[in-house]
Amino acid sequence: MFMGDEPDDLRGRDDAVAALYHRHRDELVRLAIGLTGDAGLAEEIVQEAFAQLLARWTLLRDRQAAPGYLRKIVVNGARAGWRRRQRRDLLAHLLGSAAQTEDPDVAQASTLLAALDQLPIGKRSCLLLRYYADLSEAETAQVLGVSAGTVKSQTAKGLRQLHRLLEPTRTEVR
């Protein structure tokens, strides 16, 4: 088969995935950065998600579900943890850079990333999908493959834990 002689279904698939890429790539990269703390790794995870979608396009029963499928692949890619050390190194670098900068937004974002990094991946995933990706409890549950009740409880627990981590250290006055 020569270039340009692709069957119509492959061209349709390629066009559909390209449109999804342009519409959702940045959102997925931001989600992956939030989950991993590593921009380079986030890019790799998102590229892998689109490659998997492209390879499995014909198996998708509902093409409208493709964005949710992509989010699920990104979350699972981040869960793999096979590059945890690189993520920690980047976070240490970000915190060092934030300490040297006078920009309070950069310092605040670095502090938040450091606190999120201390949460278990399940709670971190729930928080990022609910509040960063702005998904409903049901959508988050579908992406993570858990019940809506689990999302609700993990989100609440994650928020409490995050609040404790971000709470300024208080010294008791006697």
Let me know if residue 16 belongs to a domain: no
Q: Confirm if 46 and 32 have CB atoms less than 8 A apart.
A: yes
Residue 30 confidence (pLDDT): 93
* 114-137 pLDDT tens trace: 888 889 989 998 988 888 888 889
Question: What's the chain's Rg over C-alpha atoms?
Answer: 19
Let me know if residue 163 belongs to a domain: yes
C-alpha distances in Å from residue 26, one per residue of 19, 32, 133: 13, 10, 11
- Domain limits at 173? 119-174
Let me know if residue 127 belongs to a domain: yes
Let me know if residue 32 belongs to a domain: no
CA distance 45 to 76: 9
- Regions of the chain short of the pLDDT cut 50: 1-6, 82-83, 85-87, 98, 169-174
Residue 89 confidence (pLDDT): 56
Let me know if residue 142 belongs to a domain: yes
Q: Which CATH number covers residue 167? A: 1.10.10.10
Report the domain count for the chain. Answer: 1
